[in-house]
Amino acid sequence: MTPVLYSFRRCPYAIRARLALHASGVEVEMREILLRSKPAAFLAASPSATVPCLVTKDGVIDESLDVMLWALRQSDPEGWLDMPQAGYDWITRADGPFKAALDRVKYASRHPSSDVDAARANAVLFFDDLEATLNTWVFDRASLADYAMLPFVRQFAFVDKPWFDAQPWPKVHAWLAAFLASDRFNAVMVKRPLWSGEPGT
């Protein structure tokens, strides 16, 4: 059985799953869905009803980082998993406090302004630390940490791109710009026909 990946093009969690699958070369059937009109087959497969959701012969993988790890454990030609433990610490920080800050800044109208200001300040601390860590990559070459975080950094940057570009983070800016210009990013962001589960889709 060819594994099936349910995905939504713009979702950063789905983007990072697709990045790892692209790097691994593992073949999957991509099913692009609309989150506001979720097909019954997807809802039956995904315990959380969220993307990405990978259906394999051995079961369902419903968390994006687990999808990345699954793909790279099948095949890791670029050595993304060969990184220090600090890489997992970065991912935990990005998925936890930074993602919480991102959500408050992105959906500012849903939160008191004081909460949004505090969230932006927390994001600034994250980027200050990242700026101090980065060279070209988080470590001496590309790793899981880079590609697990970059889709969320991209999302934060585009909430207010002029503000983001004006911040004193040249290494972060270069890291993100290289990612956005890469063949890999362009490959995983190709627009696909929507899959509805109906014949012919």
Reported as a pLDDT band with limits 50, 70 and 90, residue 198 is: low
Reported as a pLDDT band with limits 50, 70 and 90, residue 197 is: confident
Tens-digit pLDDT profile for residues 115-141: 889 999 999 999 999 999 999 999 999
pTM, full prediction: 0.95
Would you state the CATH architecture of domain 4-78? 3-Layer(aba) Sandwich (3.40)
From-to residues of CATH 1.20.1050.10 in the chain: 85-182
Report whether CATH 1.20.1050.10 matches the domain 85-182. yes
Tens-digit pLDDT profile for residues 126-179: 999 999 999 999 999 999 999 999 999 999 999 999 999 999 999 999 999 999
> What pLDDT does 169 receive?
98
Cα 131 from Cα 92, distance rounded (Å): 17
Residue 201 has pLDDT above 60, yes or no: no
